[in-house]
Amino acid sequence: MRRVSIRLCALGTLCGALALAGSAVASLAADATPADLVDALNGVFGKHAGDRAAHTKGICLTGQFTPSADAPKLSKAPHLAKPVPIIARFSLGGGNPEAPDNAQDNVRGLAVKFDLGSGASTDIVTISAPMFFVKTPELFVEFLKTVATGDQDKIKAFFGAHPESTLLNAWLTSHLVPASYAGVDYFGVHAFTFTNAAGEAQVIKYKLIPEAGELGLTPDEAKAKGPDFYAGELKDRLAKGPVAFDLTAILGKQGDPTNDPTQRWSDEDNRPTVPLGKISIEAIAPDATCNAFSFLPGNVVDGIAGPTDDPVFAARSPAYAVSLIRRLQSAK
Ligand code: HEM
């Protein structure tokens, strides 16, 4: 045990995560603890030694982020002022290490850690849909426990009682299966507040737009691809050059809700956006590089603040810390 703690605290991110876990446990009013959230994931997907409790199947990457000229006008965050190295990870939603790449009803994930130097970092953790499926951590647990029963009537009843929980699946099933991790829009879902050097604040949501455009597969094409084509597709694509995304900020306005990740802002697709910079993914990295830490949605930096009234946002980083501790302890 002692050996593990020393190993864990050698990783700055984890020590930060542990501090986050402590603070948010108190603020969650203890209805769904970080361990409850991870246990609920394990209840559906099983425990997989050394692996993430969610977004288990994925590919670790390295690259660069180059900010736009407009980015510092919105936020004084250091990575929005000068180019920085990044570690990134593409993933599939859920805790199944063998999740099929060709499923339509699953999110793709893109997490990015911006290296700010001297051991400091900031992260964004996004999915291929602009909303999440529950508005509170308690409902996250309730939903997964319902799924774990396998009782279709109970699952139907959950959706009947929580119609907002159908929005994510409706989004996914109205979009084609992404033909590539590099060919789909990713969204930050939560509302963040940017503050610039003059102290001016602006609420934003992240959207990452692929330079390759949206690349979709028809149901027949997806079926023909089989369950494991993303890794090979990405390897071939990277052999020809970097995979790039435009990181953009969708601008919020007075009165936009920031407390419910199941809801989009009114007319969100037609809001003004500001380009923040280019994420350039250059190479596939060993899994061990990404497995040594967590990408934490709450790992923000001066100039960027997470929503203070969004209970899902508050619950995420502490749950990620629990998942990290467990996977490091159980790693073969
Ligand atoms: C109560 C809500 C949520 C819970 C309990 C939860 C839980 C988790 C856990 C336990 C992990 C694995 C962390 C690790 O071992 O490092 C994870 C990973 C991830 N989550 Fe969540 N999550 C939630 C909401 C969200 C939302 C709203 C998004 C997107 C906006 C998201 C996107 C991701 C992504 C992309 C990863 C993979 C990160 C990586 O590649 O390491 N999650 N989540």
Question: How remote is the CA of residue 141 from the centroid of ligand 1, in Å?
Answer: 14
Instruction: Yes or no: say if 304 and 194 are a contact pair by the CB < 8 Å rule.
Output: yes
Number of domains in the chain: 1
- Does residue 214 lie within any of the structural domains? yes
Q: Exposed, middle or buried, 28 (CB in 10 Å: 0-12/13-18/19+)?
A: buried
State residue 271's pLDDT score.
98
Question: How remote is the CA of residue 320 from the centroid of ligand 1, in Å?
Answer: 7
State residue 173's pLDDT score.
97
Per-residue tokens: 182: 């590099």
Residue located via tokens 């809801």 = 263
- Does residue 167 lie within any of the structural domains? yes
Question: How remote is the CA of residue 240 from the centroid of ligand 1, in Å?
Answer: 30
- Does residue 318 lie within any of the structural domains? no
Name the closest-CA residue to atom 11, ligand 1: 54
Atom of ligand 1 nearest to the CA of 127: 29
Ligand 1 lining (C-beta closer than 6 Å): 37-38, 41, 52-55, 58, 89, 91, 109, 111, 125-127, 132, 137, 140, 189, 261, 294-295, 312, 315-316, 319-320, 323-324, 327
Asked whether the predicted pLDDT for residue 11 surpasses 70, the reply is: no
24 — pLDDT class (breaks 50, 70, 90): very low
Is the pTM here over 0.85, yes or no? yes
**Catalytic machinery residues:** 55
Report the distance separating Cα 254 and Cα 244, nearest Å. 32
Q: Residues 195-219: what's their mean pLDDT? A: 98
State residue 29's pLDDT score.
45
Atom of ligand 1 nearest to the CA of 38: 10
3-state DSSP of the chain: CHHHHHHHHCCHHHHHHHHHHHHHHHHCCCCCCHHHHHHHHHHHHCCCCCCCCCCCCEEEEEEEEEECCCHHHHCCCHHHCCCEEEEEEEEECCCCCCCCCCCCCCCEEEEEEEEEECCEEEEEEEECCCCCCCCCHHHHHHHHHHHHHCCHHHHHHHHHHCHHHHHHHHHHHCCCEECCCCCCCEECCCCEEEECCCCCEEEEEEEEEECCCCCEECHHHHHHHCCCCHHHHHHHHHHHCCEEEEEEEEECCCCCCCCCCCCCCCCHHHCCEEEEEEEEEEEECCHHHHHCCCCCCCCCCCCEECCCCCHHHHHHHHHHHHHHHHHHHHCC
- Segment among 11-25, 132-146, 181-195, 243-257 with least mean pLDDT: 11-25
- Does residue 312 lie within any of the structural domains? no
Asked whether the predicted pLDDT for residue 307 surpasses 90, the reply is: yes
Report the distance separating Cα 87 and Cα 60, nearest Å. 7
Tens of pLDDT, residues 27-85: 434 489 999 999 999 999 999 999 999 999 999 999 999 999 999 999 999 999 999 99
Question: How remote is the CA of residue 198 from the centroid of ligand 1, in Å?
Answer: 33
Q: Residues 206-223: what's their mean pLDDT? A: 98
**Partners of 58 in beta bridges:** 91
Give the CB-side neighbour count of residue 11, counting CA atoms within 13 A. 19
Name the closest-CA residue to atom 30, ligand 1: 126
State residue 332's pLDDT score.
75
* Percent of the chain at pLDDT exceeding 70: 91
Residue 199 structural domain? 57-307
State residue 28's pLDDT score.
37
Q: Residues 10-38: what's their mean pLDDT? A: 55
Q: Residues 171-180: what's their mean pLDDT? A: 98
Q: Residues 150-166: what's their mean pLDDT? A: 98
Q: If you average pLDDT over every residue of the chain, what do you get?
A: 92
Q: Exposed, middle or buried, 286 (CB in 10 Å: 0-12/13-18/19+)?
A: exposed
**Partners of 186 in beta bridges:** 208
CATH code where residue 220 lies: 2.40.180.10
- Does residue 18 lie within any of the structural domains? no
Asked whether the predicted pLDDT for residue 220 surpasses 50, the reply is: yes
